[in-house]
Amino acid sequence: MTIDGKTIVITRSENESGEFISSLKHVNAIPFALPTIQIIKKNNILDKFINSVINYKPHFSIFMSAKAVKLLFSEATNVSRYNKLQLAIANTIVVAVGPKTKCALEHENIKVSYMPTRYSSVGIGEIFTKLNAYDKKVIVPRSSASTPFLFMLLQKIGLHVKENYVYDTITFHDVKTWTKFHKLFIHGKVDGIIFTSSSSVKSFFEIILRYCDSNTIENKLRDIKIVSIGPTTSHELVKFNVKNITAKSYTIKGAIKTISAIL
């Protein structure tokens, strides 16, 4: 399936959109990388995580993004620190939210025991409902901007949950790129937008309100096909009264397949 000549916006920076861009070009679309957030690594994340594992003694560790894996291991600057981190994770039963996160862990020689068929918090919940994990402890290294949905879901299942924040996400406004996007947006030259996270949704609206009034934004978005990667992102869009379709598979491939179908 091709979407020849259609301009598809991805709410990520160009540096983080390589696979999106190449995949969209493969179906003859015109990709437009639109940065909305910036990742800020928290201080002393490696020691805090290792100490949390030592003191909390979790049975499971849940990794919700490859970003968390890479940031933690980026702090392991020598063999001793690397081995401590690897051992801390390996002493837990490791769960990865999806293929990229699983790949990032396996790259560091970490065995991943479980990965859901639905790459989301809901999928993680489905795994734990099938395991005999009641009253077990889990640790989740993740973004401080994460929604409380997973925390509440796991608690409801009967788990003890400790979230270990390794990075923040802040709104990032690249004036040059956003000025170009605004021109396309106002003149009806944007055919589709793929929102990649709930944080990107919040930041998108924070930024675009600097360029347009809310009525204009609402009217223009009605003519654009909107795809979200995952139910959390979709729910955030609904808060802004944006009609959207959740990708059937919460992946880059799934998002492009979905937007290709609706276009």
Helix runs in the chain, H state only? 18-26, 45-56, 66-74, 79-90, 99-107, 121-130, 149-157, 175-186, 198-208, 214-222, 231-239, 252-262
Residue 48's pLDDT band (cuts 50, 70, 90): very high
The answer to the question of residue 1 being in a domain is no
Mark whether 105 and 225 lie in a shared domain. Answer: no
Give the model confidence (pLDDT) of 10-41 as tens digits: 999 998 888 899 999 999 999 999 999 999 99
**pLDDT score at 89:** 97
Task: Tell whether 233 and 141 lie within a shared domain.
Answer: no
**Residue 20's domain spans which residues?**
7-36+172-262
In this model, does residue 167 exceed pLDDT 70? yes
C-alpha pair distances (Å), 11 with each of 112, 251, 252, 262: 29, 14, 12, 19
Full DSSP string of 49-98: HHHHHHHH--SEEEE--HHHHHHHHHT--SHHHHHHHHHHHHTSEEEESS
Residue 143: which H helix or E strand, with range? Answer: strand 137-143
Give the lowest-confidence range in 173-177, 220-224, 227-231: 227-231
Instruction: Identify the pLDDT of residue 228.
Output: 96
Residue 2 has pLDDT above 80, yes or no: no
47 and 97 together in one domain: yes
CATH number of the structural domain spanning residue 160: 3.40.50.10090
Asked whether the predicted pLDDT for residue 1 surpasses 80, the reply is no
Place of tokens 């690249």: 174
Task: Judge if 49 and 15 occupy the same domain.
Answer: no
Q: How far apart are CA 103 and CA 43, in angstroms?
A: 25
Q: Final residue of a domain: which of 170, 189, 211? A: 170
Give pTM, 2 decimals: 0.87
The predicted-structure confidence for 118-153, as pLDDT tens digits, reads as follows 899 999 999 999 998 999 999 999 999 888 999 999
CB 137 within 8 A of CB 59: yes
CB count in 10 Å sphere of residue 162: 16
Q: Return all residues near 215 (Cβ < 8 A) that are at least 6 apart.
A: none
Contact indicator for 80, 88 with CB cutoff of 8 Å? no
The mean pLDDT of 52-64, rounded to a whole number, is 97
Strands 37-41 and 160-171: antiparallel
